[in-house]
Amino acid sequence: MAKSMSTPLNKVARMLDLVPYLHAHQGIELSKLAHDFGITESEMTADLTTLWMCGLPKYTPLELIDLSFDSGYVTIRNAETLEHPRALNKDEAIALLLGLDLVRSALSNERTDLLAKIDALATRLRNLIGLQGQLTAEPAVDGSIRSTLSKAISSGSALDIEYHSLYADRITQRSILPIEWKNDSFHEYVFAYCDSAKAFRTFRLDRITHATPAAKKVAPAQFAGESDENLFTYTITIHNHLRAARELFELEGDDKDLHPGIEKTVTSYTGEWMRRMIFSAAASVELVSPARARGDIATAARGVLDLYE
């Protein structure tokens, strides 16, 4: 529901939605009703009081909307004119269309029955709002893995996962006890106790390629701390392709004023990761120090060039 509840227009919209909702949910608890509409109970009481004064012209008791909500349960009568839910506006239809896309891709291809239903629903929604342009959404993450993880978190049970570790470019098998979801503006993560590492680790959701209930029990070791790897510090110089470097090294935020030749300090848990970062910047970023890491870059690059000799 709209978060700004104060304008009369929002109140009107809400009251018009309230009537059909009550119609479909006769005898609903006031507290649940307020919750469903995302407002407080006293705001809801104020809405219902106003609604009580509304009705067909003439405004005799016979023509007024008849509400009863004295004992904490709300029922409605005499509101036939408004009993059908209002048409969806464009934003609402678009939200559903994009959401349907996602549901579609989370389904297995064998459910042709559901896929056909989704396509028919999408066509109906498009026609409702006369949509000409195109909108599509696809998940960054396999939906079935997410629901497996959600279930494991809520039931406190362990999982065997296949994880693609990007910096080592290795797929590893691990047993984890997922604890909670985390996310930054780009990716979703699951924070978990990793039995294989005997420590708490953060896993990027889109790198988990497979997840099944664990074959054996997993319990955090007593003194398991947060990841104990050391953080290394590097100095880099960005020569050009500033936007790419900014996104690669995650220098977003206060670094809008990057300029060619600027020096930056960046950190990494492993030298391997840093080497891959520098390599994929395609020589637009130079690793300045430490000197050994710098030398390693040159050696590694020569090593790859040898493949082409």
Partner 1 sequence: MSRKSERLVNLTIALLATKRFVTKSEIFRTVDGYEGSPETKERMFERDKDDLRNLGIEIEVGSFDPLFEDEAGYRIRPEGYALNLNDITGEELALLSLAAEAWRGAALDDAAQSALLRLSSIGVVSDIDSLPAMTPRLSSSHISFQTLTTAITSRIPVTFNYIAKELSTEIRVVDPYGIATRNGHWYLVGLDHKREGIRIFRFDRIDGDISKYAKGKAYEIPADFDLKSQLDGADSLSQSRIDIRKGKAHVLRQMATSIEDKGEWDQIAISYPDTERMIKLVLWHGNDVKVVSDDDLRNGVIASLKHLVALHG
Residues 130-149 touching partner 1, rule: CB under 8 A, are: 130-141, 143-144, 146-147
The tokens for 137 are: 């959404």
Determine if 28 is a binding residue for partner 1 (CB under 8 A): no
C-alpha 106/C-alpha 128 separation (Å) is 25
With CB under 8 A as the contact rule, the residue among 109, 155, 265, 305 that binds partner 1 is: 305
Closer by beta carbon to partner 1, 21 or else 220: 21
Q: First CA to last CA across the chain, in angstroms? A: 64
The distance from CA 115 to its chain's CA centroid, rounded to whole angstroms, is 23
- Comparing CB distances to partner 1, the nearer of 224 and 244 is 244
CB 191 within 8 A of CB 180: yes
Of 51 and 194, CB closest to partner 1:
51
The Cα 303–Cα 282 span in angstroms is: 16
Report 56-95 residues binding partner 1 (CB under 8 A): 56-59, 81-82, 84-95
Which member of 27, 72, 261, 295 binds partner 1 (CB under 8 A)? 295
Q: Which is nearer to partner 1, 160 or 272 (CB)?
A: 272
Shortest reach from residue 228's CB to partner 1, in Å:
26
DSSP state string for 17-34: HHHHHHHHTTTEEHHHHH
**Min. distance of Cβ 52 from partner 1 in angstroms?**
10
Which region, judged by CB under 8 A, interacts with partner 1, from 116-124, 190-198, 214-222, 224-232? 116-124
Could you identify the residue written with the tokens 């960046």?
A: 266
- Out of 66, 258, 270, 290, the residue judged to bind partner 1 by CB under 8 A: 258
Q: How far is the CB of 104 from partner 1 (least distance, A)?
A: 9
Residue nearer to partner 1 on the CB measure, 228 or 247: 247
User: At 165, phi and psi to the nearest 5?
Assistant: -80, 115
CB closer to partner 1, 216 vs 292: 292
116 touching partner 1, by CB under 8 A: no
DSSP SS3 for 178? strand
Binding segment for partner 1 among 66-74, 172-180, 194-202, 298-306 (CB under 8 A)? 298-306
Side-chain half-sphere exposure of 298, counting CA atoms within 13 A: 6
Query: In whole angstroms, how far apart are CA 138 and each of 27, 123, 133, 159?
Result: 40, 18, 17, 25
Beta strands 262-268 and 232-238, pairing class: antiparallel
The reply on whether position 292 binds partner 1 by CB under 8 A is no
Bridge-based pairing of strands 159-165 and 170-183 is antiparallel
Site residues for partner 1, 161-220, by CB under 8 A, read 164, 169-171, 183, 185-188, 206
The answer to whether residue 30 forms part of the interface with partner 1 (CB under 8 A) is no
Residue 224 binds partner 1 (CB under 8 A):
no
CA distance 241 to 278: 13
State which residue, 54 or 199, has the beta carbon closest to partner 1: 54
